[in-house]
Structure formats: C-alpha cells, structure tokens
Amino acid sequence: MEALSRNFFLYLSKNKSLNKMAKRYGLKFGASKVVGGIDFDCAVPVIKKLNEKGLCTTVDHLGEFVKSMDETRERTLQEIHTIQTIAREKLDSQVSVKLTSLGLDIDYNLVFENMRTILNEAQEHGIFVTIDMEDESRCQATLDIFKGLKAEFSNVGTVIQSYLYRSLDDINDLKELSPNLRLVKGAYKESTEVAYQEKKDVDENLKKMIKNHLLNGNYTAIASHDDQMINFTKQFAKENNISRDLFEFQMLYGMRTQTQLDLVNQGYKMRVYVPYGNDWYGYFMRRLAERPANVAFVLKGIFKS
C-alpha cells in the first residue's frame, strides 16, 4: 500500500499539465502547510512567525532544471531580491540554492558567475548560502563549483548525501577547506552502482559522516527528521565535548513541528528549510510520496485552502 501511494504521488509530481495548472491557481490542497508562499514576499510572514518561536530558517526558491541563460539570470535577480528582503526585514534566515536553477546544465562559467553575484550580495548582508545537492550525476560538478567558490567566499556551504558510497571520501577531501556542510540521507533515486539502497546502510553512513565532520572541527548541519539521527548527534556531541555552537539541526517546513520546538527549548539551534515559489507542485507531491502520513493533513487542507 505504502509503495503504491509513493509511486502514485511520484507519478503525479511529474505530471506537466497538473504542474502548469498549479502555477496558475496558487497554493492549494494544503500545500501552504509545507510551502512558505507563492513568492518570497508571501513567505516573509511565515518566516517571521518561525523566527519569533526561536527557529531560524533557510529559504529555497522552488524550481530546478532551468534551460535558458536568460532564465538563470532572472533566477539570480530573484535570489538577490530574496537576500535584500531578508536583510531589510531583519529575518534570521539563510538561503539555499540549486545549481540547476542557475545554469549548471547549460554552462560552467554561467553558473559560476550567477553564484558569484548571489554570494557577493549575501556577503554584503552577512547571509550564508547553502548549495543544495542534486542527483548523483551532478555531484562532482557541484563539489567542484563549491570548492572554487569557497576559495573566494566564506559564506558558502554545500550538502553531502549519506546514500552515496563516495560521501565519506568527499568529507575527507573537503576537510582542509573547513566547510560548513549540511549532512542528509539523500532524496533522489540512485542506482546500486553509486548508492546504498538499504535504509540501515544509509543511516550507518550518515552517523559516520556526522562523527567525521564534527571531529574534524567543522560546522555541521544535521538535516533529518529521524529521531535516531538527532539522538545520535546529541549523545555523540555530549560524549566528545563538542560545543553546541558547532552544529545545528535542520528540518523541512511543516514536518515534525513539535520536535522542532522541543529542540529549541532544549537549547539546540534548529533551522527550518522553507521552500517558496509558484513551482510548488512537484515539491509538494514529493513530500506526499515520502510519507503517506502527510496525506492526512492534505485531505484536511483540501477543505480549507
């Protein structure tokens, strides 16, 4: 049943006409529970509410795989608008970006220049930018671009996924750059050639990565809704006298909201990933596919939104 539901929502997530329709009609079917707004200005009140509760955020403009140069420049300007709004509204927020929305699939120099423009603006306002990690075929290019940018900017980090066999090596390879890394399990469908398929292997590798990166003395964001990972990090930090200034937890907007608040009350830094934008439909369907329990709140949302 679970597999059926997962496949159904993944199928819906790729439906182009539904995606088009969703763009026209705004956030529907309870999507506002997991998406901040159809544009950044709409997301500002959501972020303010989270900040008031002691939760900091990172914001992600939905939409990837941009195919034209002009569109990537448009996306870059939109990121600049977001950064300026964060600064003007004094939001406690960072920014997350996907390189495919900035030209990764078009031209290496183009994506590099777009990122430089974004990082310059963010640096001026003291805002940190994380480069999200996409599918494995783009992993090496993403890391190469990250390394190049890290040589010029201190306000940039990236993501490492524990389902990839290569990830512990990547952490060791990046060590000398003292990078701020978000560690995740990984969200894409990858082959046995490159990725662990069993949850226990992915979990074990994530624990190893958390240990390594923290012991290297580098800032670590543990982005997981899994109590096992959260408890492991707390225990490991305690046993190794690792300061709470050296790590933070991250979760997606709308997921495990009580646990997010509990972590803040326990004195941990908790960052909420808030997606926004009119390309919300695919993101929303993927969240439903991930967790059938989410479908219940959507059904409620159908009658409210």
Residues known to be catalytic: 132, 182
**Contacting residues for 120 by C-beta, under 8 A, at least 6 apart:** none
179 lines the binding site for ligand FDA (CB under 6 A): no
Site residues for ligand FDA, window 97-136 (CB under 6 A)?
A: 132-133
Is 187 annotated in a binding site? The answer is yes
User: How long a stretch of residues is the chain?
Assistant: 305
* Cβ count near 300 (within 10 Å): 13
Q: Which of 10, 42, 106, 187 binds ligand FDA (CB under 6 A)?
A: 187
185 lines the binding site for ligand FDA (CB under 6 A): yes
150 lines the binding site for ligand FDA (CB under 6 A): no
250 lines the binding site for ligand FDA (CB under 6 A): yes
Of the pair 121, 132, the CB lying nearest ligand FDA is at 132
CA 17, CA 6: separation in Å to the nearest integer? Answer: 20
Number of residues that bind ligand FDA (CB under 6 A): 20
Q: Which of 184, 195, 214, 289 binds ligand FDA (CB under 6 A)?
A: 184
Angle, to 10 degrees, between the axis of helix 257-265 and the axis of helix 227-239? 10
226 lines the binding site for ligand FDA (CB under 6 A): yes
Q: Does residue 146 contact residue 115 with C-beta atoms inside 8 Å?
A: no
Q: Does residue 180 contact residue 221 with C-beta atoms inside 8 Å?
A: yes
Q: Which of 18, 80, 110, 255 binds ligand FDA (CB under 6 A)?
A: 255
194 lines the binding site for ligand FDA (CB under 6 A): no
CA 21, CA 281: separation in Å to the nearest integer? Answer: 9
138 lines the binding site for ligand FDA (CB under 6 A): no
Q: Six-digit token pair at 95?
A: 């920014």
**Contacting residues for 72 by C-beta, under 8 A, at least 6 apart:** 66, 101, 102, 103, 106, 110, 111, 114
139 lines the binding site for ligand FDA (CB under 6 A): no
Q: Given CA atoms 53, 55, 56, 61 in this order, what sign does their dihedral have?
A: negative
Could you tell me the smallest distance in angstroms from the CB atom of residue 166 to ligand FDA?
14
Is 13 annotated in a binding site? The answer is no
* Cβ count near 7 (within 10 Å): 11
Helix (H) or strand (E) holding 185: none
Q: Which of 97, 181, 210, 252 binds ligand FDA (CB under 6 A)?
A: 252
Q: Which amino acid is at 210?
A: I
Site residues for ligand FDA, window 19-48 (CB under 6 A)?
A: none
Binding site members for substrate: 98, 286-287
Residue numbers in the known binding site are 98, 133, 161, 185-187, 199, 224-225, 286-287
- Residue stretches of the annotated binding site for FAD: 133, 161, 185-187, 199, 224-225
Q: Which residues bind ligand FDA (CB under 6 A)?
A: 132-133, 159, 161, 184-188, 223-226, 250-252, 255-256, 273, 291
